[in-house]
Amino acid sequence: MRRLRLDAGTNKRTLILGLGNLLLSDEGVGVHVAQLLLRMELPSDVEVVDGGTGGFELIEHVRGKSKVVIVDCFRSDAKPGSIARLTLDEVSLDQPPPFSVHEGGIQELLLPIQKLTPTPEVVLLGIVPAVVDQPGMVLSAEIESQMPKIVSAVLEEVSGNQPAPEFDDALVDLGGGD
């Protein structure tokens, strides 16, 4: 896990947390998004963290935040590059969430978030991958072409705007997936 922005003072009220494994192509989409956002000028109260494949240890980044936007790979039969938006209340933590191959990591993070006081607003943006079963540090063409849409979705969450109408809410399967 690399923490890419080091100025995370108490004034950072919003956290963008990019998760994923950069060694498995599209599985690293959350980390790629975090790296793009770090090159952008963001509001002063926003912190961006490359969480890699971390789990419970990421709770220190979440503590004290009012909003957390988690970007990760999402298992679905939907078209690669589709975006699913979930809140913490919409994810069943009794079974693994349908996020990435490091699902234990995200579940290890989501469970303690619920116990924080105050509990931050949590939004999960899941990106449907094209390739996750082949080694590679480059995103597939399908996901690369959707990066502007994905980054825009994250920025809309940070700004407090309503989710973009093109969000693919219908592809959310809260039953867990394979």
pLDDT digits (tens, 9 = 90+) for 68-121: 999 999 888 889 999 999 888 877 666 655 565 555 567 777 777 777 778 889
Flag the least confident range among 18-32, 36-50, 66-80, 112-126: 112-126
Name the more confident of 176 and 74. Answer: 74
- Give CA–CA dist 29/14, Å, rounded: 20
Please report the pLDDT score of residue 96 as a whole number.
56
Please report the pLDDT score of residue 175 as a whole number.
32
Please report the pLDDT score of residue 172 as a whole number.
40
Burial 128-163 (b: 16+ CB within 10 A, else e): bbbbbeeeeeebbeebeebbeebbebbbbbbeeeee
pTM, rounded to two decimals:
0.79
CA atoms in the 13 A half-sphere facing the CB of 91: 25
- Give CA–CA dist 73/164, Å, rounded: 19
Q: What is the CA radius of gyration of the chain?
A: 15
Residue 32 has pLDDT above 50, yes or no: yes
- Quickly state the pLDDT bin for 12 (edges 50, 70, 90): confident
Flag the least confident range among 10-14, 45-49, 63-67: 10-14
| Residues 80/140, Cβ–Cβ less than 8 Å | yes
Please report the pLDDT score of residue 165 as a whole number.
38
Domains recognised in the chain with CATH numbers: 14-171 (3.40.50.1450)
The tokens for 48 are: 């961006």
For all residues of the chain together, what is the average pLDDT?
78
| Residues 95/137, Cβ–Cβ less than 8 Å | no
Residue 164 has pLDDT above 70, yes or no: no
Handedness of CA 43, 29, 102, 176 (dihedral sign): positive
Flag the least confident range among 13-17, 18-22, 171-175: 171-175
Name the more confident of 85 and 6. Answer: 85
